[in-house]
Amino acid sequence: MKRLAIALLERLVPDSDALAGDLLEESERRRSLAWLWMQVGAAVATARWNRSDEIRPLKLVDLQPADAIERSRRLSLQTMQATVTPSPHRGVGGVTLAVVVAVLAEVASQLWWVVLASIVAGTVLGLLLIRRHRGGFSRQRPLVFEGLIPRSTTVLLLVLAIATGAAAQTPTPPRRSFDVTSVKPNATGRRSGNIQPGRLAQGGVTVRQLARMAYGTKQIVGGPGWIDSELFDIEGKGSFELSGFLPGPDGSPPQVYQMLQTLLEERFQLVVHKAMQERPVYALVAARRDRELGTQLKPSTFDCDAHIAAIVKSGRLSGPSAPGSPPPMPRCAIGGGPGHLMADSIEMSGLANALSESTDRVVIDRTALRGRFNVDLQWTPELVGPAPTPNANAAATDAPPALVTAIQEQLGLKLEPTTAPIEVLVIDGASRPTPN
């Protein structure tokens, strides 16, 4: 309507450019469309009455046409920006937003992306609303490119800076390490081990065996050849109890084995990463349709949680044994030797892990058996196939069967070859240890 009034004025009154600029400027200041039409009507009537080629109403400043148009454009832009930011104090809104974002980043650094997404969504929504505004997007273009977008970009950069700073200042948990460590080459080839409060000692072990213990997995690939052949004696001392050898309440790795990871990284320069790989495995399943268990696999009702809590409290792994007799089998544990596996009150997942030590593949539990069990399994390690057929050799017929057959006959379970994605530990590099 303003453009229509000015167009009528310029068409009906010759040489009225200056008057048109003044009227447009005054109407923007007054924000009154009726006043503009009244002034245009008065100017047209005066020009027609006096038949004058130039109309100069009183109280209007005589400006050059170009100056009047430029002044009107600046006033219009300032008015539109004031509509978007009505605060009389420039920058107050930006400072307030910066303070709010900083508080959010300090309280919960993970919320910075919510603020970032909100600003982006608000900018897009604002552009869409301007496009739908009467007069079209073209009339509001100076406002968008001179006001809204620069401010949004400034706030965006501010949020990114605060988020980056909050992420950089997020404290990382301290690395666990032994107070004192010792690493020496082993020349005897004799295997030994000792765990007690404040001390972990392992003798005659390879780096790969130490990595299995430290990272709690037997699936380790890669690394130089010497990590499987050279033997070492290692010892670590620190301020920890027997509970340090047990997983945390949240399932985190045992504290002592995290210290062992640090020892391997510092003394052997061990570099590893984890990856998922599809690999051949054995599935441990029930051998019979009626799911009847074998004679050497018996359910146990022993309370292992209470037993482990008592061990941690007393600081002793087991009670004293009679003089001259071997120490008793620990409760809730797995033991034995070549061709003999004994377990007290263990879950099926523990049995599968123990069987993995004696097979060429990982064994995964798919028995669906719940609870704890006692196991006494015997086999002949040299046999890789089924048990030998009876013959005249009494020693051969009396020997235990092969592992696959023994599992089926004695436990009522069997191993089925299959494939499954499993997590493996990949050794990227290792170096021979530095001297003490």
Last residue within a domain, chosen from 251, 268, 285? 268
Q: Same domain for 300 and 416?
A: yes
Q: What are phi and psi of 420, to 5 degrees?
A: -160, 150
189 and 252 assigned to the same domain:
yes
pLDDT-derived band at 331 (thresholds 50, 70, 90) equals confident
pTM over 0.85: no
154 with 190, same domain?
Answer: no
Q: Does 190 share its domain with 247?
A: yes
Closest CA to 208 of 435, 360, 356, 430: 430
How far apart (Å, rounded) are the C-alpha atoms in residues 198 and 182?
A: 14
Tell me the pLDDT tens digit for each residue of 24-54: 777 777 667 777 777 777 777 766 655 544 4
Residues 401 and 279 in one domain: yes
- Residue type, position 31, single letter: R
Is 106 strand, coil or helix?
A: helix
Do residue 297 and residue 399 come from a single domain? yes
Would 407 be classed as within a structural domain?
Answer: yes
Q: Which two tokens stand for residue 102?
A: 């900083």
Query: Does a structural domain hold residue 249?
Result: yes
Domain of residue 5 covers 1-84
How many CB atoms sit inside 10 A of residue 261's CB?
20
Q: Is residue 408 part of a domain?
A: yes
- Taking alpha carbons only, the member of 188, 263, 290 closest to residue 434 is 263
Q: Is residue 89 part of a domain?
A: no
Q: Does an H or E element contain 389, and which?
A: none
Residues 2 and 68 in one domain: yes
State the pLDDT at residue 349: 92
Q: Are residues 374 and 308 in the same domain?
A: yes
Those residues whose C-beta lies under 8 Å from the C-beta of residue 430, and which sit 6 or more positions away, are: 207, 223, 224, 227, 268, 269, 270, 271
Give the domain-ending residue among 143, 171, 199. Answer: 171
- What is the pLDDT at residue 414? 95
**Which percentage of the chain shows pLDDT scores above 90?**
37
Tens digits of residue pLDDT in 242-289: 888 887 777 778 999 999 999 999 999 999 999 999 999 999 999 998
C-alpha distance across the termini of the chain, in Å: 91
> Is there a domain that residue 207 lies in?
yes
Q: Are residues 9 and 148 in the same domain?
A: no
CA distance 377 to 47: 118
* Neighbour-count burial of 64, counting CB atoms closer than 10 A to its CB (0-12 exposed, 13-18 middle, 19+ buried): exposed
Decide: 388 and 410 in contact? Cβ < 8 Å: no
Q: Is 432 domain-assigned?
A: no
The per-residue b/e assignment along 30-42, b for 16 or more CB within 10 angstroms, e otherwise, is eeeeeebbebbee
E-only strand ranges, 225-323: 232-237, 271-286, 297-300
275 and 256 together in one domain: no
Q: Are residues 278 and 374 in the same domain?
A: yes
Q: Is residue 99 part of a domain?
A: no
The residue out of 84, 113, 139 marking a domain boundary is: 84
| Same-domain check for residues 341 and 264 | no
- Largest Cα separation within the chain, whole Å, is 144
The per-residue pLDDT for 37 is 73
* Number of structural domains found in the chain: 4
Tell me which amino acid residue 347 is: E
